Amino acid sequence: MSDRHDHSHQHHEHGHEGHEHHGLVEVTLLLEDEHLDALDEVAAEISKELKQSWDRGAVVRLALSEFFSRRGKIT
């Protein structure tokens, strides 16, 4: 992956286009079918455990947070 782009936290600009909500930026992801099934299963499990609704996006954010935290990219 030699094609690197500098996205140095310019997400606030997207808010003017209506794509940012509560610090979140809307993106499109291509996932495999089995990932969607797993996201739905985990969302249901977490929703039941925490007694609050979780959706696919919340599970993806949780998974990415754990991934980047382990790599020392976020704290």
Cβ-in-10-Å burial (0-12, 13-18, 19+) of 74 comes to: exposed
What residue ranges do the domains of the chain occupy?
29-75
Element housing 49 (H / E)? helix 33-50
**Can you tell me the distance from the alpha carbon of 19 to that of 14, in angstroms, rounded to the nearest whole number?**
6
Walk along the chain (75 residues) and give the pLDDT tens digit of each residue. 444 444 444 444 444 445 667 889 999 999 999 999 999 999 999 999 999 999 999 999 999 999 999 999 998
Task: Look up residue 27 and give its two tokens.
Answer: 């993106």
Q: What is the pLDDT of residue 75?
A: 86
Angle between helices 33-50 and 56-70 (to 10 degrees): 90
